Structure 1
């Protein structure tokens, strides 16, 4: 079912499956984290990596990793490409929480 085209999107002329939607969303999430980092740094006037950057990294990596693992694509290059960022993002999020706590200032860190 997850590999079958979504009928109500047929008008686009593209074959879009639920797994592709997960993959697209994950790719947008993973790429969009740089926009979040840019905005936070611009506001702070210095390089800043907000916690939401790490959340977006983890979610985006897991979504694209699941696409390459479980969809009909099952591409080992995609798995390898997303496996390392998933673990590094999880570890970075762990360190951020460990060193700054759960409740930290959104604007200044």
Structure 2
């Protein structure tokens, strides 16, 4: 029974990660890595500051990774993923606008 279960799981993983591997899946992985990096840079910046910080790079990785994930979702025709990433992409753009505006003000004040 355990051997059969191991074979079923192995066959499933082989199908998902090997048989279905194409350039779109690779794009999806790259997008997911870029999207995950936003949390890594946020975590590092917060650790260095000793408080919660959202650096500019967080929004840059959010927009880059989110846009790539949206492209991937559009290709895969996944309505749930499309809706979530489309709204999120708008939010990332808006937050980047705020961050750029704040940088400009700081630069002018200096």
**Residue 13 (structure 2) pairs with residue 13 (structure 1):** no
For residues 20 and 101 of structure 1, the distance between their equivalents in structure 2, rounded to whole angstroms, comes to 39
Look at both structures and tell me which one has the larger radius of gyration over its CA atoms: 2
**Residue 34 (structure 2) pairs with residue 26 (structure 1):** no
Q: Which runs of 5+ in 2 are unaligned?
A: 1-16
Paired residue for 1:87? 90
For residues 87 and 36 of structure 2, the distance between their equivalents in structure 1, rounded to whole angstroms, comes to 16
Q: For the aligned residues, what is the CA RMSD?
A: 2.0
TM-score by length of 1: 0.75
TM-score by length of 2: 0.74
**Residue 58 (structure 2) pairs with residue 53 (structure 1):** yes
Deviation at 1:16?
Answer: 1.5
Deviation at 1:28?
Answer: 1.7
Paired residue for 1:78? 81
Paired residue for 1:3? none
For residues 38 and 26 of structure 1, the distance between their equivalents in structure 2, rounded to whole angstroms, comes to 19
Question: Paired residues, what number?
Answer: 91
Deviation at 1:102?
Answer: 9.3
**Residue 104 (structure 2) pairs with residue 101 (structure 1):** yes
